[in-house]
Amino acid sequence: MKRLYRNAQIASEDSSKLMHGDVLVEAGFIIGVAAEITGVTDAEVIDCTGRILLPSLFDIHVHAREPGQEQKENIASCAEAAINGGVTGFVMMPNTSPAIDNAGVVRTLLESARSTRIGASLYTSGAITKGRKGEELAGIAGMKAAGAVMLTDDGFPVDNPQVLRRAMEYARDFDIPLSSHCEVKELSGKGCMHEGKVSYALGLPGIPSISEEICISRDIRLAEYTGVHLNIQHVTTAEGMGTIKRAKDRGIRVTCEIAPHHLMFNHEDIGDYDTNYKMNPPLRTKEDNALLLQGLKDGWFDVIATDHAPHTPFEKNQDFASAPFGITGLETALTSLYDAFISKDILDWGLIVKRYSAEPRRLMKLAPVPIKEGGIADFILFNPGRTTTFTREFMKSKSFNTPFLNKTLQGMVERVIYRGEELLAR
């Protein structure tokens, strides 16, 4: 069956401007892209007037919670949440119960993933250390052979630099990235939010910015020594971003992520002890927001990644200090980025395509999915003229620990096309 997406505004990573045109799809592929496609009489026509057509998104930092924490999320619900937000591929994190630290768990997870509607584009990382305890290396060779595409102890740093050095050498030799959660646990202590004037006013223990920044510096030095591809996860401070920028300028193989919530929110949003604003690393300051946003615009960040971290209402309804870190993000990321930045001409669609579609795939050694003739039909139709209210009924994740719960934002992911199949149409 042919589908003709007519009169769309087509986004590309190569341009900040949108191209007006039609897109013709058949048998999973894009068979035509032009300003106007005529003479097609056997296609379903979809009017895209006023809509943005952009390549589907890819997220390299997702907590699907399977195995062992399926009350929060499982791979199937995580995949549906991803589709709901325009994401058609992601990489799962290994902080599960048990941890993803051996080939058997990797194989089991990938087999489970294949049964979802986007199963061919779901991947998993493997833990750096057994049980993510930071003491003994996990079965890296076996996990790589079973299909793991990244190493990380996400949620924890690897405290022992010698253990991390050896892991980096393995990752280098197996040619896979090692992603680092940067934190000095002794400095973070029992902190539950950014250390500063707001934590003092609320009487909550704080996590100082140096906890993240010192670990970023250490891990970069180890990466420089070993030659590994190091990916720094969820950067939150301008100083940490600057350290990464200087390392890149020296030719060190380092990439880094920015999460949407670290661009939009800061520690002042926690004012009423709302645990939906509790995450690790924590929300920092307005000044950090502004500088991180400028860093994204200037190309200092390689990818946008949500750190999608579902938790049950029971867990999040505890007092702020006791509630777990983390918020969901797969379903809200694109719409919130549009509402906060694109609609105000602060960011453009080309940047979103580059940093949340093309570059994440490249980082995982996958081909991007540009909207061009001969390419795979893997794209989103986004309607800036509609609004989205993120109710519990709207969201497909098992959990809804998000600052956007019951809030209405401008824009809507209207259609999701994956390998030519329409997975979502509103």
Q: Which helix (H) or strand (E) holds 223?
A: helix 209-226
Cα separation, 86 vs 27, whole angstroms: 21
Q: Given 317, 344, 363, which residue is the final one in a domain?
A: 363
On whether both 39 and 67 belong to a single domain, the answer is no
Task: Examine the domain organization and report whether 49 and 63 are in the same domain.
Answer: no
Residues 114 and 127 in one domain: yes
Domain of 37, CATH number, reads 2.30.40.10
pLDDT at 182: 98
Please give the pLDDT value at position 12.
98
**pLDDT tens track for 215-264:** 999 999 999 999 999 999 999 999 999 999 999 999 999 999 999 999 99
Looking at the fold, whether 264 and 322 belong to one and the same domain comes out as yes
- Residue 113: inside a domain: yes
Question: What CATH number corresponds to the domain at position 89?
Answer: 3.20.20.140
State the maximum Cα–Cα separation within the chain, in Å, rounded to a whole number. 69
Does residue 303 share a domain with residue 271?
yes
Is 368 within a domain? no
Rounded to whole angstroms, the Cα distance separating 132 from 163 reads 12
The count of domains in the chain is 2
User: Which pLDDT does position 271 carry in this prediction?
Assistant: 87
Among 342, 363, 384, where does a domain finish? Answer: 363
pLDDT at residue 411, as a whole number: 98
Residues 41 and 79 in one domain: no
The confidence score (pLDDT) of residue 288 equals 98
Same domain, 9 and 156: no
- The answer on 62 and 49 residing in a single domain is no
Question: Are residues 29 and 100 located together in one domain of the fold?
Answer: no
Query: What value, to the nearest 5°, has the Cα angle with vertex 121 and ends 400 and 18?
Result: 80
Is residue 319 in a domain?
yes
pLDDT of 1 > 90? The answer is no
Per residue in 274-319, pLDDT tens?
999 999 999 999 999 999 999 999 999 999 999 999 999 999 999 9
Domain boundary among 338, 363, 388: 363
Q: What gap in Å lies between CA 98 and CA 106, rounded to an integer? A: 11
The H-assigned helical ranges of 250-402 are 260-264, 286-297, 313-316, 333-337, 349-353, 359-363
pLDDT digits (tens, 9 = 90+) for 108-145: 999 999 999 999 999 999 999 999 999 999 999 999 99
Residues involved in catalysis: 307
- 392 — alpha (psi -120 to 50), left (phi > 0) or beta? alpha
For residue 344, tell me if it sits in a domain: yes
Please tell me whether residues 159 and 300 are part of one structural domain. Answer: yes
Q: What are the phi and psi torsion angles at 282 (to 5°)?
A: -80, 170
Q: Based on the domain organization, do 44 and 87 belong to the same domain?
A: no
Closest C-alpha to 165, from 217, 216, 227, 257: 227
In the three-class reduction of DSSP (H, G, I as helix; E, B as strand; rest coil), residue 79 is classed as: helix
Give the whole-angstrom CA distance, residue 119 versus residue 327.
Answer: 23
Q: Average the pLDDT over 375-380 and give the result.
A: 98
Q: Is residue 228 part of a domain?
A: yes
* Same domain? 168 vs 209: yes
What range defines the domain where residue 264 resides?
A: 57-363
